[in-house]
Structure 1
Amino acid sequence: MNPLLEAEQALLGAVLLDPQQLAHLSWLAPDHFYRPVHQALFAALRKLRTGGHPAGEGGDAVALEWVTDAVEEAGVHVRGLTAAYAHTLIATCPRPAHAPVYARMVLEGAIHRTVTEHAIRLHQAARADALQGEVDNALHYADVLTDVLGDLARRWGCEPRAVAPVGRPAPGPPSPGRAARIAEDERFLLAVLVEQPKAIGEVVDWLRPGDFAVPAHGQLYRCLAVLHHRGEPIDRMTVLWEAQHRGLLADGTLSAEEVGAVCDGIGPGGADWLGEQVIRSSVTRTAAVSARAVRALAEDDSLAPGRLIGHALHALGPLDEVRARWRAATAREAPPVPPPPAEKAAAARVQAALARSSPETATRASARPRPAPKPPATRTSSRHHG
């Protein structure tokens, strides 16, 4: 039998035997159980205890009532639960006092299961975005997975900190339907950068060699970036020479014919637009790789929850890095918005007020002749004496 299933049964049996054990399980939720019938039964037990069930007073008769009431309450939400199965759970429990340990086993299984589910969603979103030329869904589910890992870490009682595993997952190739188009975009971008060397300044701050799906294209881009950094001219000959210095021709990564074909090609479009296509595919590709790595970690039952969460956060690190560069690539400065007429009028009133209160204006105002004051008018007395 599955050890996780036995742990769920032992925990429920312990609570059915000793309702006081629920006082030590406030951190465990019904959805942490794998089987729906176990979820419903644990929720019913918590509801009965919160409602003041007399089982807390002890006694055999009360314990029997506790079991029957729990089965009746759980039966409202799930089908197939009988009193016979409740007594089977009681017989499965080795020691009721060990309920917190059994609950920790249940939580551990829930952590592995939850991380697996969210990793699958991230992978599906990354594949869908790759087909549609988008990145928003993949980035959204990556944020959801990060938040879930943080919440699980707090429930388990550990710090959500990225920890590198022993091995690193190998990046997977793009889907066959998009591989040709991605490679074509990369060739177009490299051709534009060779034809217009100044255009590399538009992409070099946020585009990296690892963003290229074809490794040879990434190495060619590295050669272009090095030539740009050194301020040397860029053409087919200088790129070929740089590739030779880096050993790319000797180890078979590139050939002189491949370098010539890319450098002599025609690249339609601007460097910034083509660069965005390359890094967009890098985002979805990296998201898929991270999702596969997290899922592989979650399916390893030998990993303790703390290590699983730390390794999963580390696997999402490359996606955070490429996401930051994607945002830098797509950021656009908004043109200044002219103030509305009301604000213009208010600014004019402020300037007028300042001009009226300036020292020069006050001096001119004091130098003007003032009219002589008028004598006070005599008032007619309105008082009458009788």
Structure 2
Amino acid sequence: MDPLLRGEQAVLGAVLLDPPQLGYLDWLEPRDFYRPAHQAIFAAMRTLRAVGLPTLTAEGEVPLAWLTDTFTEAGKHVRGLTASYQHTLIAACPQPARAPIYGRMVLEGSIHRTVAEHATRLLSVADEGARQHTAEGTIAQADILAGVLADLARRWGTHPRPQAPPASPPAVIAPPPTPAQEDEQFLLALLVHQDGAIEGVFDWLRPGDFADPRHGQLYRCLGALHHRGEPIDPVTTLWEVQRRGLLAQGALTEEHLAFVLGSGVAGSAEWLGEQVLSGSVNRTASAAAQQIVAQTDDDRLAPGQLINQALHALGPVDDVRARWSRAVRQPTPESQPEPDHSTRVHAALTRSTAQATIRALPSLRSAMATEAAPHQGRGPATASPRNHP
């Protein structure tokens, strides 16, 4: 016996027996019914009421035209309706005056289905975004789900507010694909071997954004070095790993560190960081969607609880998407003015190590002095001022 089916039949039977009950169900929509036939019947009832039918007789009897016209109108949109189904609906209604109560049962089932539908869609979009290395679609779908939850809360008559479930289930995250691991390894290697590279991602990339927890642990070590103002290179990184006990605990092994600490790589830390953060957006949204879908399967959750717990599950998505916005809105090199020669020299000095800077100062002073003086031809270490308008 399907409780939702009985509830839908009961509310339709109540309106068939007592047409004025339809006026107490203005908050119910045809789409709230699960069965297409019930959607068509309820829509037909609203259509007939809109054109002025039916009207009760003075004796309070229901016109026969109300029954026949309802099923005739519904039959235009769905097949398989027979006159015998009228009796099934009527028999399913114990008390026509309880139509609003039966209607709330229908709305409750609709809320569970709607949340599950949009959460499943978010899960699908997040999985596709992970394959395509994009996050825009996932963020847009998460916004749609949040808007749907707010609208459902309004229809149910509650205030939408995130509420943690009694015992939050652990987030289910699929194993990271190989391309994601490679992006993370390249990013970490670049941060270790390229001086100052971590400054481009430190403000918005977090250890939890890495698909591989070992990479997140290593990034935490790099962040600690940067936070303390210490240099980042293979030696200091390995020492920080040791200080945190990651080698003794087995969290990181020499094999895990071989690529990151072994040799330098070329690339853009910002771009690689965006790829890692994009994967984090998709994984976080996927985990939230799976949790919401599991909640919709719990019939014990009242609609208000379901909505608020779903909003709570979307909380981590809001956090990672805020950092994603900061990452992608940073000015690109093309949008920045071209620096003059002295600015480039200062930037080169800033990126250099202390010893390299000390050794380079005499030659740099000489080069700058040579450039400032009029001369013909090409200088030994710098380009002609004519090439730098």
Q: Please tell me whether residue 105 in structure 1 is matched to residue 108 in structure 2.
A: no
Q: Please tell me whether residue 277 in structure 1 is matched to residue 275 in structure 2.
A: yes
Q: Please tell me whether residue 85 in structure 1 is matched to residue 124 in structure 2.
A: no
The 5 A counterparts of 1:29-48 are 29-48=29-48
Residue in 1 that maps onto 2:265: 267
- SS of equivalent to 2:27: coil
Residue from 180, 183, 186 that aligns with 2:181: 183
Residue in 1 that maps onto 2:21: 21
The more displaced of 246-255 and 10-19 is 246-255
Q: Please tell me whether residue 301 in structure 1 is matched to residue 302 in structure 2.
A: no
Q: Is the 8 A contact 2:189 2:259 kept in 1?
A: no
Residues 171-190 of structure 1: CA distance to partner in whole angstroms, max 9, x if unpaired? 41246xxx111111111111
Q: Is the 8 A contact 1:236 1:260 kept in 2?
A: no
Residues 29-77 of structure 1: CA distance to partner in whole angstroms, max 9, x if unpaired? 0110000110111111122222222433364753433212211111111
Q: Please tell me whether residue 173 in structure 1 is matched to residue 204 in structure 2.
A: no
Residue in 1 that maps onto 2:70: 70
In 2, Cα distance between the equivalents of 1:30 and 1:116? Answer: 18
Q: Kindly tell me: are residues 63 and 245 of structure 1, through their superposed partners in 2, closer, same or farther at Cα, counting changes over 3 Å?
A: farther
The letter for the 2-side match of 1:135 is A
In 1, Cα distance between the equivalents of 2:314 and 2:289? Answer: 8
Residue in 2 that maps onto 1:361: none
- SS of equivalent to 2:250: coil
Q: Is the 8 A contact 2:48 2:54 kept in 1?
A: no
The letter for the 2-side match of 1:191 is A
- SS of equivalent to 2:104: helix
Q: Is the 8 A contact 1:126 1:287 kept in 2?
A: yes
In 2, Cα distance between the equivalents of 1:248 and 1:57? Answer: 84
Instruction: Give the C-alpha shift of residue 246 in structure 1.
Output: 2.4
Residue in 1 that maps onto 2:117: 117
Q: Identity over aligned residues, as a percent? A: 58
Q: Is the 8 A contact 1:163 1:313 kept in 2?
A: yes
The letter for the 2-side match of 1:217 is H
In 2, Cα distance between the equivalents of 1:127 and 1:156? Answer: 31
Residue in 1 that maps onto 2:329: 331
Q: Please tell me whether residue 245 in structure 1 is matched to residue 243 in structure 2.
A: yes
In 1, Cα distance between the equivalents of 2:152 and 2:96? Answer: 26
Residue in 1 that maps onto 2:211: 213
Q: Kindly tell me: are residues 230 and 58 of structure 1, through their superposed partners in 2, closer, same or farther at Cα, counting changes over 3 Å?
A: farther
Instruction: Give the C-alpha shift of residue 110 in structure 1.
Output: 0.3
In 1, Cα distance between the equivalents of 2:99 and 2:168? Answer: 36
Q: Kindly tell me: are residues 257 and 76 of structure 1, through their superposed partners in 2, closer, same or farther at Cα, counting changes over 3 Å?
A: closer
Instruction: Give the C-alpha shift of residue 333 in structure 1.
Output: 3.1
Q: Is the 8 A contact 2:54 2:63 kept in 1?
A: no
Instruction: Give the C-alpha shift of residue 23 in structure 1.
Output: 1.4
Q: Is the 8 A contact 2:222 2:237 kept in 1?
A: yes
Instruction: Give the C-alpha shift of residue 154 in structure 1.
Output: 0.3
Q: Is the 8 A contact 1:119 1:295 kept in 2?
A: yes
The letter for the 1-side match of 2:173 is G
Q: Kindly tell me: are residues 91 and 60 of structure 1, through their superposed partners in 2, closer, same or farther at Cα, counting changes over 3 Å?
A: farther
- SS of equivalent to 2:196: helix
Residue in 2 that maps onto 1:320: 318
Q: Is the 8 A contact 1:240 1:256 kept in 2?
A: no
The more displaced of 61-70 and 207-216 is 61-70
The letter for the 2-side match of 1:25 is L
Q: Please tell me whether residue 53 in structure 1 is matched to residue 44 in structure 2.
A: no
In 1, Cα distance between the equivalents of 2:58 and 2:109? Answer: 32
Instruction: Give the C-alpha shift of residue 210 in structure 1.
Output: 0.5
In 1, Cα distance between the equivalents of 2:54 and 2:127? Answer: 54
Residue in 1 that maps onto 2:139: 139
Instruction: Give the C-alpha shift of residue 260 in structure 1.
Output: 4.4
Residue in 2 that maps onto 1:151: 151
State the Cα RMSD in Å: 1.9
Q: Please tell me whether residue 9 in structure 1 is matched to residue 9 in structure 2.
A: yes
- SS of equivalent to 1:250: helix
Q: Is the 8 A contact 1:191 1:267 kept in 2?
A: yes
The letter for the 1-side match of 2:35 is R
Instruction: Give the C-alpha shift of residue 100 in structure 1.
Output: 0.6
Instruction: Give the C-alpha shift of residue 168 in structure 1.
Output: 3.7
Tell me the TM-score normalized by structure 2.
Answer: 0.82
Instruction: Give the C-alpha shift of residue 288 in structure 1.
Output: 1.4
Q: Is the 8 A contact 1:188 1:265 kept in 2?
A: no
Structure 2: unaligned runs, 5 residues or longer: 338-389
In 1, Cα distance between the equivalents of 2:255 and 2:146? Answer: 45
Tell me the TM-score normalized by structure 1.
Answer: 0.82
Instruction: Give the C-alpha shift of residue 237 in structure 1.
Output: 3.0
Residue in 1 that maps onto 2:253: 255
The more displaced of 129-138 and 185-194 is 129-138
Residue in 1 that maps onto 2:129: 129
Structure 1: unaligned runs, 5 residues or longer: 338-386
Displaced runs of 4 or more, over 6 A: none
- SS of equivalent to 1:295: helix
Equivalenced residue count is: 334
Q: Is the 8 A contact 1:190 1:221 kept in 2?
A: yes
- SS of equivalent to 1:57: coil
Q: Is the 8 A contact 1:173 1:213 kept in 2?
A: no
In 2, Cα distance between the equivalents of 1:171 and 1:62? Answer: 55
Q: Please tell me whether residue 230 in structure 1 is matched to residue 222 in structure 2.
A: no
